[in-house]
Chain A
Amino acid sequence: MTLATVGDEQQWAVPDVPTPSRPAAIELDRVTMRFDRDGARPAVLQDVSLTVAEGEFVSLLGASGCGKSTLLSLVAGLGSPTSGTVTTPVGRTALMFQESALFPWLTAGQNVELALRLRGVPRRERGPEAERLLESVHLGGQHGARVHELSGGMRQRVALARALAQDARILLMDEPFAALDAITRDVLHDELTRVWQENGLTVVFVTHNVREAVRLGQRVELMSSRPGRFVRRWLVDIEGPRRIESAEVADLSREITDDLRREIRRHAVATPDAGGTT
């Protein structure tokens, strides 16, 4: 096992990873995002740059308030940054949330069909295509199920099928498994890994679960809070199928957790004298 650690411990400057031969799927160039006009509060995102290669699986890790969700919204096109640029050269993005956010007035299959319809798929093809997508997340035969009849894990799989129905090349996930029980989450990690590999998707996975980040990602990006910035980066180089309880995952998780804690403690020092210019 080799853990390639890139990054500079003492300052923020993270050198750009010379991305693999594949082209970039997501590019953030010195993105700053602030919600207040006067700039009194620290920016939610400050001067953030990130490149994600096509087909790459990146985990974004950070404590609350580090702007992870904001960053995903920007990539999804749900807002525009205060300054800087966000580009997704490979096209469409799909976004999944912590709650499945399936529409309760539709059945599981109709939820998937709506995504197809909004994408412009002709009526005749929607039914079979929705069925195929549901089968791809092992939910064949659940086409007519009402959302409230499904378990949390099943809902997230329908949401995954709906995201796939958008035919997006980029899948953005905002803590999608945070509300699930550990057993279901573990199974969905396998499921997501499979879907990612089979479809050649680019995935950005936001979480505050260190092990989950390591279990899933080819790269883990640690973010600081207030202002949100990238602090450190790990390339996860574990051969073969991973399991959340394996020693390699545990080792790297420990290292990342140490960094994360250091990051959080910094705030305890900075907060009391609001200025914090020491």
Chain B
Amino acid sequence: MSSTTQYDDVASLEAGLDALDTPARTSESWGTSLRRSVLPPVVAILFFGLVWVVVVALHVKPTYVVPAPSEVWSTFTDYWAQGAVQEAVWNSLRRAFVGFAVSVVIGTALGLLLAQFRFVRTAVGPLVTGLQSLPSVAWVPAAIIWFGLSDAAIYTVVLLGAVPSIANGLLAGVQQVPPIYLRVGRVLGARGWASIRYVVLPAAMPGYLAGLRQGWAFAWRSLMAAELITFSPALGTSLGQLLQTGRELSDMSLVVAAILLILVVGVGIELLVFSPVERRLLRSRGLTGSST
């Protein structure tokens, strides 16, 4: 039968074309990627450390203003031995996680409302964007007046810092969904909630994730500001409180140690949680070159 052979022909033709058209997948070795991504920041850190040592050695400022790395280290080990460092990191991280989790729930709900209802968007949208640019430290006095020196005051500040970023990230993600996806969804029979679940939300993921990432950064920042100001023994040791203690004792090496700890925790969460998730998401969608 001639038509059968014609179609067999199509199959083999297509197999040939597919082989020619499929881009070759290159994967670089583990060692290479490690050298590329880990080496530069290590070099940078060593460089800054060197500058620090040189500045101290030149006695530009007295050591109670610019302490030597060794002094910071010994302060750090002292506080570590007392268990203060562990407790401070644990308390701050716990608050950050709880505050961030609540922010995600509220921010996501708010973002969906903003995306779904034009009226809400017009009415509340500018306010949310405005809140995003308002430093959340500005809320600390109000929070203390409302809730006293308590966890509630701290969480209020964290929420006000993180929720607008998350809501706006989700909104931006939804607004950037290519209209063709929505049309395809409708053609496939996805209406209402099915359309949101199978088309809109997955398509909005990159924007949402960017919002979550920024929300985390804002939550962490807001938390430090709140802990620094709502200073009360009842609240237990925290990173913000270590800073405040350092200031009261005029102990610059404690202040520097606390700053470095805050930095390390912030960067650590970023590197361990958000970067890998984002990289996987973008790579699976072909939105990033695999070799860069």
A contact residues vs B (CB 8 Å cutoff): 76, 78, 93-95, 97, 99, 101, 103-106, 114-115, 117-119, 138-139, 146-154, 157, 162, 166, 183-184, 187, 190-191, 194, 240-241
B73 close to chain A: CB less than 8 A: no
Please, which residues of chain B bring their CB within 8 A of the CB of A149?
A: 22-23, 25, 286
Contact present for B6 and A190 (CB under 8 Å):
yes
* Contact partner, A105, options B188, B194, B205, Cβ 8 Å: B205
Q: Mark the stretch among B12-20, B166-174, B230-238 that contacts chain A.
A: B12-20
Q: How far is the CA of A115 from the CA of B187 in the complex (A)?
A: 9
The SS class assigned to the B binding surface is helix
In the assembled complex, which residues on chain A have CB atoms less than 8 Å from the CB atom of B203? Answer: 103, 105
Count of inter-chain pairs, beta carbons less than 8 A: 98
Question: With the chains together, A194 CA to B8 CA distance in Å?
Answer: 11
Q: B18: which of A99, A115, A151, A166 is its contact (CB, 8 Å)?
A: A151
30 A-B pairs in the complex with CB atoms less than 8 angstroms apart: A78-B183, A93-B187, A95-B184, A95-B187, A97-B183, A97-B184, A101-B181, A101-B183, A103-B181, A103-B202, A104-B285, A105-B205, A114-B198, A117-B198, A118-B189, A118-B190, A118-B198, A119-B189, A149-B23, A149-B25, A150-B22, A151-B22, A153-B17, A154-B21, A157-B14, A162-B188, A187-B13, A187-B17, A190-B7, A190-B10
Complex contact A138–B189 (CB within 8 A): no
For residue A97, which residues in chain B have a CB less than 8 angstroms away from its CB? 180, 183-184
B196-207: CB near A (< 8 Å → 1, else 0) gives 001100110100
B10 touches A194 (CB 8 A): yes
A148 touches B285 (CB 8 A): yes
Q: Which of B17, B23, B187, B284 contacts A184 (CB 8 A)?
A: B17
**Complex interface residues of chain B between 177 and 193 (CB less than 8 A to chain A):** 180-181, 183-184, 186-190
Q: A105-B202, A187-B10, A194-B7 are in contact. Are A78 and B186 (CB under 8 A)?
A: yes
B53 beta carbon closer than 8 Å to chain A: no
- CB contact between B21 and one of A105, A114, A119, A153 (< 8 Å): that residue: A153
Cα(A183)–Cα(B10), bound, Å:
12
Contact (A105, B284) CB under 8 Å given A78-B183, A114-B188, A191-B10: yes
0 or 1 for each of B237-259: is its CB under 8 Å from A? (1 = yes): 00000000000000000000000
Q: How many residues of B contact A (CB 8 A)?
A: 35
Complex formed: what's the CA distance from A147 to B202 in Å? 15
Are A183 and B194 closer than 8 Å at their CB atoms?
no
**Is the pair A94, B187 in contact by a Cβ cutoff of 8 Å?**
yes
Question: How long is the Cα–Cα vector from A152 to B13 in the complex, in angstroms?
Answer: 15
Kindly list the 7 A-B residue pairs having the minimum CB-CB distance in the complex, ordered from nearest.
A148-B286, A151-B21, A104-B285, A118-B189, A105-B202, A190-B10, A95-B187
- Residue B264, interface by CB 8 Å: no
**Chain A residues with CB under 8 A of B9:** 190
Cβ contact of A187, chosen from B14, B22, B187, cutoff 8 A: B14
Q: A94-B187, A118-B198, A241-B2 are in contact. Are A101 and B14 (CB under 8 A)?
A: no
